[in-house]
Structure 1
């Protein structure tokens, strides 16, 4: 298995090495379709030739409607082989959204499954070539050679952030960045050819792409794609495949644990590792998962720009039962191998040991910058250090504790309120499943704390106000509460905080502490 010094620098290089070492081992499967590493390598070469003939290549841009299917994995790897600049897109994106993602590109290539392209009427509306993933390796002349392997340091991936706190931006990564991220996962979590990895997250986002797909290519692990998520389907796949690694969101972990009443009848799972990212892992979810499956969830903290930053892995158990204890709120573990962190004050000076500060990170998997945003790039990327926007502290054991995001703090009469702290108090209520807190701008220029919550039973805003007043200072207590059936999320499970705030501001019906839930 290659070390960091001799690992290939491209995705094509990883795939070629895997096909040489494990040709007959299953590489990727979903819904009855299975490709071994030799098949995946062959199909990727043929698909790359087809994409190159359609206009993909160095200097070109392609947009991939990235479903969690083997044919989309082939298309993704084929695009990498051509050296094109690739934009992974949500499979359900509209034509307007896709056009925005490809803005500025000359004749961009649109790649997707036939049924989705037909639903978009892409053939008649897209300003460039349209290529179906269905049967892509078999399309075109049989004797057309695959393009030459590109360099690993050229811009490759235009990966848009979730936009959970504002407008999304495209973080530009090289193929070498992705390989470096996979090396960190391998070192941290011990992936190997004996593992079967079930990806219950979208491959189009950083977590699923690197923790699921690229790390499996690097290590020879078998990757199983879930497709459409339901707790029952996920549990069935974990049993059917004998999965040893689960890549999921906190919500998926929670739903899986809650619906696993029949798990004992089906026998124990073979899971040795569950990785969770995309949102904070609530201690109650971690505890419930450990009780059901005998495995503690390892929380992964990272971002689109830098990849994995830290992970909280289970500590040795003090007695019988699952290893370790659930993480305290905000504890995201220790920085992963190869990742450096700094905490600085507003002037950029390092803070004292144990003090809170702005979190800066430096990692081999770092992005190049934001697409067409040199000013924004210069603000957040200085001397190789990325300013995450998170406030954090390091404890004496080297564990990283997230305090919140500086740009989401609410200014109440000159006092700063951390939304994360208020959310944690709200989520302690036994009848709340989800909560998001933000600052509402007032006519006098100040702000007040607002919250939108998802309840699991009858509950009033007055009752929530009383709950918060016992646990928070007066200026921290939400001055308005709105109940919702669900909160808007990205496909990676992250709550879209800005969207919640905007929607609440547009509604005429709101709830104050005297209101009730209808």
Structure 2
């Protein structure tokens, strides 16, 4: 019996299964010379997307994965804006007719094809990033070689495999290890917890928001095995809670241009990103008191990437994240890092979310503001007074506001810039000193 290549919602798919899925495309003229073509792919069936990706990659085709929830008009706009040759949109491959976007003229692509990604960052405006497949192979080799703790674990991928985090680190890295990843498309927390119970030695790939929700719903006597986090580091109270309910908490850090560049297999403190992977070199500050921008250089190409993140290396050579440079709040010449303020407020009983952000000030240059979500109504004047005993004077927020929810961008990130722009000038004039 042929071993499964991967699972989708507990359904196994072998290599012959994948060959059968793409067989309907093999005789189509659009796929006779796929090298140099860009295929925008938006499929409802995750197994069909993975089978197509694994088929096109060695043929030297370039692929733009589009989230399955994207409407047709938006998918076509993405295909057009990224210079794609064809759009494949629908449920399954046998039902799809490739739609011509750029006629027969082929887009200039790197030899061997590329993975095309869209990165919105903190502005919400899509930015097209292309990475040659051979660069991704170098990242995979570095990722697997350094992350030895994952050798015996089964990845459970509870995040979109149209995104590089789920596709490269969750699926392709598992295949490189010879392990069949388990992709979960039903993101109901109870369904995910059931899948994790069925795979005791799991490595969960999920968003920090989903992981936090799973921990809150986890039965008292149950623990998760290993959890991989990506994106902004968790606040200290949330990280402590997670470490108490998991055998291992991992954190990876990277950017769309270079993929994963650092990884910690055992996070013990907020912002700990671990050792850089061997396919890149990384520069940062030398201590918590002297952070600097994290600069990344891809060794094979010499590409230099400005992350706009502030960080530093500790004495063991581990990289630490402090804040986005744009989010750092300069109060009378003293830097305030939002995470340090948020950690304090998250320690107050009943507060579930807290976001610190900046506001221009005529006297101090900038000042700290904070919005929070709590289980019940909290007296904000009393809360602000309480924070004076927990924070340095320059860290104490000038404005503390309770809200029902924190607004996020479509990618799930918080935009502190948009929070600043949403402040009511009248409220600012009435802030007590």
TM range (shorter): 0.7 to 0.9
Give CA deviations for 1:362-384 in whole Å, capped at 9, x if unaligned.
Answer: 24688xxxxxxxxxxxxxxxx43
Residue 510 to residue 455, structure 1, CA distance change in 2 (3 Å): farther
**Offset of residue 43 of structure 1:** 3.8
Aligned to 2:303: 384
Mapped to 2, the partners of 1:498 and 1:210 lie a distance apart of: 30
CA contact (8 A) 1:212 1:223 kept: yes
**Offset of residue 72 of structure 1:** 1.9
CA contact (8 A) 2:237 2:347 kept: no
Q: Give runs of aligned pairs for residues 457-468 of structure 1, distance below 5 A.
A: 457-468=376-387
Give CA deviations for 1:378-433 in whole Å, capped at 9, x if unaligned.
Answer: xxxxx433221111111111121212122222344554433233223332323222
Give CA deviations for 1:98-137 in whole Å, capped at 9, x if unaligned.
Answer: 34423446674333433xxxxxxxxxxxxxxxxx53666x
Aligned to 2:106: none
1:407 is aligned, of 321, 326, 330, to 326
Aligned to 2:295: 360
Mapped to 1, the partners of 2:282 and 2:415 lie a distance apart of: 26
Paired residue secondary structure (1:197): strand
Matched, 1:259 2:194: no
CA contact (8 A) 2:249 2:265 kept: yes
Matched, 1:158 2:116: yes
Aligned to 2:344: 425
Q: Give runs of aligned pairs for residues 206-217 of structure 1, distance below 5 A.
A: 206-217=164-175
Residue 37 to residue 99, structure 1, CA distance change in 2 (3 Å): closer
2:42 is aligned, of 52, 65, 76, to 65
Mapped to 2, the partners of 1:426 and 1:196 lie a distance apart of: 36
Aligned to 2:254: 302
Structure-1-length-normalised TM-score:
0.70
1:89 is aligned, of 66, 69, 77, to 66
Mapped to 2, the partners of 1:81 and 1:506 lie a distance apart of: 54
Aligned to 1:39: 17
Mapped to 1, the partners of 2:314 and 2:150 lie a distance apart of: 32
Aligned to 2:6: 28
Give CA deviations for 1:11-38 in whole Å, capped at 9, x if unaligned.
Answer: xxxxxxxxxxxx8221222235321134
Matched, 1:231 2:189: yes
Mapped to 2, the partners of 1:108 and 1:507 lie a distance apart of: 49
Residue 168 to residue 462, structure 1, CA distance change in 2 (3 Å): farther
**Offset of residue 161 of structure 1:** 1.6
Residue 90 to residue 33, structure 1, CA distance change in 2 (3 Å): same
Mapped to 1, the partners of 2:10 and 2:264 lie a distance apart of: 34
Moved more, 87-96 or 486-495: 486-495
Unaligned runs of at least 5 residues, structure 1:
1-22, 115-131, 141-150, 315-325, 345-350, 367-382
Unaligned runs of at least 5 residues, structure 2:
99-108
Bigger strand share: 2
**Offset of residue 238 of structure 1:** 1.2
2:51 is aligned, of 53, 74, 85, to 74
Q: Give runs of aligned pairs for residues 271-286 of structure 1, distance below 5 A.
A: 271=225, 273-286=226-239
Aligned to 1:176: 134
CA contact (8 A) 2:40 2:84 kept: no
Moved more, 240-249 or 298-307: 240-249
1:333 is aligned, of 274, 280, 284, to 274
CA contact (8 A) 2:44 2:68 kept: yes
Mapped to 2, the partners of 1:232 and 1:251 lie a distance apart of: 15
1:470 is aligned, of 385, 389, 396, to 389
Aligned to 1:19: none
Paired residue secondary structure (2:233): coil
Q: With CA pairs under 8 Å and 6+ residues apart, which has the higher RCO, 1 or 2?
A: 1
Count residues with an aligned counterpart. 423
Mapped to 1, the partners of 2:163 and 2:84 lie a distance apart of: 24
**Offset of residue 236 of structure 1:** 0.2
Mapped to 1, the partners of 2:77 and 2:429 lie a distance apart of: 36
Paired residue secondary structure (1:296): strand
Aligned to 1:250: 208
Structure-2-length-normalised TM-score:
0.82
Give CA deviations for 1:209-254 in whole Å, capped at 9, x if unaligned.
Answer: 1111111221221111111312211110012244532212222222
